[in-house]
Structure 1
Amino acid sequence: MEKELGLILFLVLLLCHKGNTESQTSCPYKCHCFTPVQVLCADERMASLPRNMSSQVKDFIIMTSSLMYLFPHTLKESPQLTKLIFLNNALQSINSQAFEHLAELQELEISGNPWLEHLFMGTFSKQGNLTKLLLNFNRLKTVLPGMFDSLKQLETLQMKGNIISDLPTFLFLNLHSLRVLDLSQNKLEGVKKEMFSGLARLEVLKMNYNLISNLASDTFHNISQLTELHLEGNKISELADNIFFVLTKLKVLNLRGNLLTTFSNKVFGFKATNLKELNLKGNRLTELTSLSSFTSLTDLILSSNQLSTLPEDIFRNVTALENLDLSENQLTLLPERIFNDLFIIKAIHLQKNNLSMVDAKLFEDQDFIQQLYLSDNQLETLPPGLLDSFVIQHTVRLHGNPWKCDCHMWYLHDWVLRNSQDIEMLDRMLCKSPGFLRGRPVISVDRDQLVCRLSKDKMHDLSSCSLQASRDTVTINCNVDQCSPLTVKVQFQGDDGSIKEHILKNELEHFQCSNEATTESPIE
């Protein structure tokens, strides 16, 4: 995918600069010259590099060609190059002296060559000014010790998408200026602390989608300046206490797609004040303990795990949190005050859990929420007042629940009618019961249809209603469910057979009823 995106990017660049192309006599055959200093050669039939390139050229890009080999002195006539890119070619071998004359080179990329398996010692020995080296999506199996020793100015090194299974212990020892290291999508099986010796200025480390299963407790001690650490897609099942203790400047920690069953702030030794993003999606988490030291955390992703319960104080002190994703877990119940400290939260994702009920005060302090996803749970109704605290434009998802469209749904029904423009996939918010409303969109149901049927037990109670007569007054006294819209009809039949009917309805406002309403009141 990244190779395709690179191709598209250069083609767009080609089109944008087409009007500035130099005359064909001054531009190498089968190439395009955007400016006197920029040349792009992209021809599937090109098997060797052009030799008539201007000495003014600084940026040279070769892509989608049939170029298989880089020989010694191939680029001897272009010592002025500062940027050299080989993208999606057919390279199989690069001679160790191919770049010998390119001492001014600052950026070098050799990516997307599916037959390139090895690099020889000394390949980069003359590139002391190089700041960026990209070796992505080749077929590299090994990297030789000392391969990068001469690259003392290197700031970015990428070797993602290869099949490297092991790295020499002190491979990066001399890379004192390195800030970004990407080893993702390889086959690394372990990480040794010596591997990062010398990387005093490293800020971003990506080692995602390898086969890493263990990390030594002092793995990161030599890279204390790290601001981003990407370890997603590995086989890490446990993190030792204090393993990230020295990473006091870390802002992004991505542990997505590992085998962790538990997580707590002990991995930072309770000191993670600068952490902004924590991604634990797709692990096997069954337990979370305190996260209270993550006082700067803004994004927390806990989706696709096996969480069934959460401690009430799990987010205590995490007051900077803006985005919380708890979707695709096994949550059945949430403590009433679990979100109590999240005053500036913008998004809470709870979809695809097993929630059957939520407390009326669950979102009481979340005035600025913009996204609330409660879809695909087991909710039959929502308690009165649950959604009333939101004061700004918001997006809500409620579909995929077995909504029970009876009198207990008056609050939610009224809220849906008032806020229909804020509810996504409203046509999929369907009644599950009662039978005569099954499959109907909630918004299409009239409020008068939201009735609670009297049970057999209640009918038995009605059979014991008392009648009291006093002179010309008859009083009927029955105990009924407070939330039942019961209708009492009294009929008077005259001597001539005519009937006069009087009707009394037990109509109460929806705020008087809730899921727990069991109080009975007399009808007289």
Structure 2
Amino acid sequence: MDKELRLTLLLLLLLCHKGNTESQYSCPYRCQCFTPVQVLCADERMTSLPSNMSKQVKDFIIMTSAVAYLFPHTLEESPQLNKLIFLNNALRSIHAQAFEPLTELQELEISGNPWLEHLFVGTFSKQGNLTKLLLNYNRFETVLHGMFDSLKNLQTLQMKGNILSNLPTFLFLNLHNLRILDLSQNKLEEVKRETFSGLVRLEILKINNNLISNISSNTFDNISQLIELNLEGNKISELADNIFSVLTKLRVLNLRGNLLTTFSDKVFGFEASNLKELNLKGNRLTQLSSLSSLTSLTDLILSSNELTNLPEDIFTNVTALENLDLSENQLTSLPEMIFIDLLGIRAIHLQKNNLSKLDAKLFEDQMLIQQLYLSDNQLESLPLGLLDPFVLQSTVRLHGNPWKCDCHLWYLHDWVLKNSQDVEMLDRMLCESPGFLRKRTVISIDKDQLVCQVSKDEMSDLSSCSLQVSSDTMTIKCKVDKCSPLTVKVQFQEDDGSVEEHILKSELAEHFQCNNETTIESPIE
């Protein structure tokens, strides 16, 4: 059962327990009255609706019953009803005149009936006051032309979770006040421009989880007032240029879980400045061009695609961006200036990529960031100063990387110790190398253990040191200038693991009052 449906059932059952005992004495048999105007009948043994209901009742709810048929006379004694809900029943057929007496009805739901396959034209002919009609999770294969012609005040129409494969053209022609239309979780293969004729006030359209593979460039011409469009879970593989150009008021666009391999801002034409949220998660995107026309965009989700790189100008002019999700792609690196001018960004998710190196100035403009996820990449160290621009307390994830715990990790080690309260899952932030520190948590290591083995090619800073061995003596000769800060540590490790350390430091620097305070430590074992 759909989560939304289960929550509705639970809510209604909870409400019934709040009723007082006195009101229940006048309730129809097998029903409960928790206010004078509300009746709930939820009994699996009930095969027909009660006939002795008070004329005060405005809201009538029938749940989990065995009621299978609604006849012309079934509801004739309750013309005063404002709300009628059939939820999770055994309905098989509804007579075209079953609702005819209910001229005051404003909300009608017929949902969760697995044997209800169709409705007759004229079923809603007297419901001119209806504002909400929910027909979810039934077994409707088709909806007949003219079914909704009388519902001129309807504002919400839901038909999700059926098995609709097509819709008649001009089906919604008279629904001039409709604001929300939900056709999700059906088997629709296409939507035509004529399908939406008449929906001049439509603001939210959901046609997610169908079988739609392509959308023509004029599909949305008749619903230019749309604010939210959900196309999630279809089979859309490409979008024509200017396909959304007429939707100048669109704020939310959900294209998650389709088959797109590329995406261009040209699909919006030149009028995309109102779009706030764009969800492209779970497609097959391999490349993206600039999204510079999306100047009002605050939330961009590009996770679970196949992106290996991004152009440096992709976010140019997208300066309102607050949340960016690039996780679960195949990114190996990021351009140095890719986030430039994104001054208000709050969250950047880069986890589960193949990033092995980041530029020191990558987050230079992201002072207000609150979430930075770099976990599960291929990072061995972070460059000096990478995380310094952040001025607010931030949540950072760094685990799942093969950290190389040597002298190149000094910056990250110091930053983690200083900001440990900001780093999530510190117990999973482990050293991958060198071998004697493998699987140790970074935070548990002393800085003195973060050492680098210096090769001869890397000894330019030591001003030509040499190593000589004779008999049982090892001699290190370092030619240094008078202001050299060089310190040499010699460590002798015994068989029991204990270490004896001797330190030699040039006294020339102090004698000549040199200003360079940097000390180079060169451990030798």
Count matched residues: 493
Residue 26 (structure 1) aligns with: 26
Residue 221 of structure 1 corresponds to 221
Q: Tell me how far apart the structure 2 counterparts of residues 154 and 293 of structure 1 sit (CA, whole Å).
A: 35
Q: How far apart, in 1, do the equivalents of 2:119 and 2:153 lie?
A: 20
Letter in 2 for 1:401: N
Amino acid at match of 2:478: N
Partners of 1:512 and 1:442 in 2: how far apart? 24
Which residue matches 2:151?
151
- In structure 1, what is the equivalent of residue 256 of structure 2? 256
Counterpart in 1 of 2:498?
Answer: none
CA pair 484-279 structure 1, distance change in 2 beyond 3 A = farther
Q: How do residues 298-309 of structure 1 correspond to structure 2 at under 5 angstroms?
A: 298-309=298-309
Q: Give the distance between the partners of 2:381 and 2:459, measured in 1 at CA.
A: 25
1:462 is displaced (CA, Å) by 11
- TM-score w.r.t. the length of structure 2 is 0.89
- Measured on the aligned residues, the alpha-carbon RMSD in Å equals 2.8
Please report how far the alpha carbon of residue 9 of structure 1 lies from its aligned counterpart in structure 2 after TM superposition: 1.6
Distance 1:234 1:404 in 2: 43
Instruction: Report if aligned partners of 2:487, 2:504 keep a CA contact under 8 Å in 1.
Output: no
- Counterpart-to-counterpart distance in 1, 2:55 and 2:124: 22
Q: Deviations over 1:191-232 (max 9, x none)?
A: 111000010000000000000011111000100000000000
Q: Distance in 1 between matches of 2:488 and 2:125?
A: 90
- Residue 270 of structure 1 pairs with residue 274 of structure 2: no
Q: Equivalent residue of 1:109, what SS?
A: strand
Which amino acid is the alignment partner of residue 282 of structure 2?
Answer: G
For the pair 1:61 / 2:61, whether they are aligned, the reply is yes
Aligned position for 2:82: 82
Q: What is the DSSP-based 3-state SS (H/G/I as helix, E as strand, rest coil) of the residue aligned with 1:39?
A: strand
How far apart in 1 are the matches of 2:521 and 2:22?
A: 90
Q: CA deviation at 1:121?
A: 1.4
Separation (CA, whole Å) in 2 of partners of 1:146 and 1:299: 40
Deviations 1:333-390 (A, max 9, x none): 1011111121010000000000001001011110110000000000000011111111
Q: Distance in 2 between matches of 1:141 and 1:483?
A: 83
Alignment of 1:424-463 (within 5 A): 424-455=424-455
Q: In 1, are the aligned partners of 2:273 and 2:296 still within 8 Å (CA)?
A: yes
For residue 109 of structure 1, report the CA deviation from its aligned partner: 0.3
Query: In structure 2, do the counterparts of structure 1 residues 325 and 502 end up closer, same or farther at CA, with 3 Å as the change threshold?
Result: closer
Say if 1:131 and 1:398 are closer, same or farther in 2 by CA, change over 3 A: same
Q: In the TM superposition, what whole-angstrom CA distance separates every residue of 1:141-182 from its partner, at most 9, and x where no partner exists? A: 110011001101100000000100010011011111100000
Contact 1:466–1:478 (Cα < 8 Å) also in 2: no
The answer to whether 1:126 aligns with 2:126 is yes
**What residue identity is the alignment partner of 1:59?**
D
Q: Which moved more, 1:5-14 or 1:150-159?
A: 5-14
Q: Does residue 401 of structure 1 match 2:401?
A: yes
Q: Which residue of 2 aligns with 1:279?
A: 279
Deviation (angstroms), 1:71: 1.2
Matches within 5 A, 1:58-457: 58-455=58-455
The Cα of 1:258 is off from its aligned counterpart by: 0.5
Contact 2:465–2:477 (Cα < 8 Å) also in 1 = no
> Relative to structure 2, which stretch is displaced further, 256-265 or 4-13?
4-13
Question: Runs of 5+ in structure 1 lacking a partner?
Answer: 468-473, 490-500, 514-518
- Residue 465 (structure 1) aligns with: 466
2:345 & 2:464 partners in 1: Cα distance?
Answer: 53
Alignment check: 8 A CA contact 2:23 2:34 kept = no
Q: Which AA in structure 2 matches 1:8?
A: L
CA contact (8 A) 2:399 2:426 kept: yes
Closer/same/farther in 2, CA of residues 463 and 228 from structure 1, 3 Å limit? closer
Report the residue type matching 1:423 in the other structure.
V
Q: Post-superposition shift, 1:67?
A: 1.1
Distance 1:485-1:297 versus aligned 2 partners, 3 A rule:
farther
Query: For residues 503 and 125 of structure 1, do their structure 2 counterparts lie closer, same or farther at Cα, with a shift above 3 Å needed?
Result: same
SS at match of 1:465: strand
C-alpha separation between the residues in 1 aligned to 2:295 and 2:321? 8
In structure 2, distance between residues paired with 1:172 and 1:512: 77
Q: Distance in 2 between matches of 1:512 and 1:206?
A: 63
SS across alignment from 1:96 = coil
- Measure the CA separation in 1 of the matches of 2:168 and 2:265: 32
Name the amino acid aligned to 1:360.
A
Give the match's secondary structure for 1:342: coil
C-alpha contact (below 8 Å) 1:167/1:195 kept by paired residues: yes
User: Could you say which residue in structure 2 is the equivalent of 1:470?
Assistant: none
Match of 2:8 among 6, 10, 22: 6
Could you give the per-residue CA deviations for residues 385-444 of structure 1, whole angstroms, max 9, x where no partner exists?
111111112100000000000000001001001111111111000000000000001001
Deviation of 1:33 (Å): 1.0
Q: What is the Cα deviation at residue 66 of structure 1?
A: 1.1
Paired residue secondary structure (2:23): coil
The answer to whether the 8 A contact 2:464-2:478 is kept is no
Percent of aligned pairs sharing the same letter: 76
Amino acid in structure 2 at the alignment position of 1:173: L
- How far, CA to CA, are the matches of 1:268 and 1:85 in structure 2? 40
Shift of 1:259: 0.6
CA shift in 2, pair 1:512/1:425, >3 Å: farther
* 1-structure distance, mates of 2:206, 2:76: 35
TM-score by length of 1: 0.89
> Aligned to 1:123, what secondary structure does the other structure show?
coil
Please state whether the residue corresponding to 1:410 is helix, strand or coil.
Answer: helix
Rounded Cα–Cα distance in structure 1 between residues aligned with 2:164 and 2:503: 87
For 1:241, give the aligned amino acid.
D
Report the residue type matching 1:476 in the other structure: K
SS at match of 1:372: strand
**1:76-96 deviations in Å (ceiling 9; x for gaps):** 000000100001111111111
Equivalent in the alignment of 1:503 = 504
- The answer on whether the counterparts of 2:398 and 2:429 sit within 8 Å (CA) in structure 1 is yes
SS at match of 1:412: helix
Preserved contact between residue 463 and residue 478 of structure 2 (Cα < 8 Å): no
Relative to 1, partners in 2 of residues 1:76 and 1:180: Cα closer, same or farther, differing over 3 Å?
Answer: same
